[in-house]
């Protein structure tokens, strides 16, 4: 059933704690984002459909299963979502990657879309939007709108830390979407940062502040 999936696996919780630490530097932060994305991807792909095939082992014919034909696309929201791409493609190397670029304007509320490039066959794919922070939900809702306008019917969202406000905003507008996150934090501050959160994930990842 669509909705929120809070992934409480100890490895994910441990890595999120290391990311929360303000003394964690950019290199380690990037590695942690990537490793967490790999672990979360394992959960977010749990319900991929399988089909039975016959494979010849060195000893016999085995009836066994492979992922059925519908393919996957990961959609990182630029720029912080880029930090999750290596981690998710480690598990699904054949996935295509679509990019959606958005930034928050000076009031930290409205999102401005400045870039979009999706795979041509996006409508036929299972899609997983990746962004480490689900804050107001505005960027994710915009990205979901864009995918739906392109004909996509199977959409998931993977974020590392989410706010209750962001989760509500996304599930209210798009109740058919699954959200996977590793932590549901207290809420947003006046500047729409998640508290306690990780800080600005893009800045911490790319060392821009």
Report in angstroms how near the CB of residue 201 gets to ligand URA at its nearest. Answer: 4
- Rounded to whole angstroms, the Cα distance separating 82 from 180 reads 17
The residue count for binding ligand URA (CB under 6 A) is: 9
- Rounded to whole angstroms, the Cα distance separating 11 from 57 reads 34
Stretch that binds ligand URA, among 3-11, 24-32, 35-43, 194-202 (CB under 6 A): 194-202
Residues in 47-86 at the binding interface with ligand URA, rule: CB under 6 A: 80
Residues in 3-42 at the binding interface with ligand URA, rule: CB under 6 A: none
- Rounded to whole angstroms, the Cα distance separating 175 from 168 reads 10
Residues in 82-141 at the binding interface with ligand URA, rule: CB under 6 A: 133, 135
194 part of the interface to ligand URA, by CB under 6 A: yes
Q: Please check whether residue 180 is in contact with residue 158, taking contact to mean a CB–CB distance below 8 angstroms.
A: yes
Q: Please check whether residue 34 is in contact with residue 84, taking contact to mean a CB–CB distance below 8 angstroms.
A: yes
Q: Find, among 172, 124, 169, the residue nearest to 147 by Cα.
A: 124
Residues of this chain that interact with ligand URA (CB under 6 A) are 80, 133, 135, 193-194, 197, 200-202
């Amino acid at each position: 059933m669509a909705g929120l999936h809070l992934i409480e696996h100890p490895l994910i919780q441990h890595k999120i704690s290391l990311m929360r630490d303000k003394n964690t530097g950019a290199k380690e932060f990037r590695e942690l984002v990537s490793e967490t994305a790999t672990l979360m991807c394992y959960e977010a792909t749990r319900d991929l459909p399988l089909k039975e095939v016959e494979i010849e082992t060195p000893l016999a014919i085995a009836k066994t299963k492979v992922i059925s034909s519908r393919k996957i696309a990961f959609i990182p929201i630029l720029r912080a979502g880029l930090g999750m791409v290596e981690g998710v493609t480690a598990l699904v190397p054949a996935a295509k990657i679509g990019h959606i670029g958005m930034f928050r304007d000076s009031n930290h509320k409205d999102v401005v879309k400045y870039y979009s490039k999706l795979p041509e066959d996006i409508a036929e794919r299972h899609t997983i939007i990746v962004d480490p922070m689900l804050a107001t939900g505005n960027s994710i809702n915009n990205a979901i709108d864009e995918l739906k306008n392109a004909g996509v019917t199977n959409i998931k969202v993977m974020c590392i830390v989410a706010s209750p406000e962001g989760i509500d905003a996304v599930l209210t507008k798009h109740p058919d979407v699954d959200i996977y996150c590793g932590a549901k934090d207290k809420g947003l501050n006046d500047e729409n940062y998640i508290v306690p959160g990780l800080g600005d994930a893009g800045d911490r990842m790319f060392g821009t502040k």
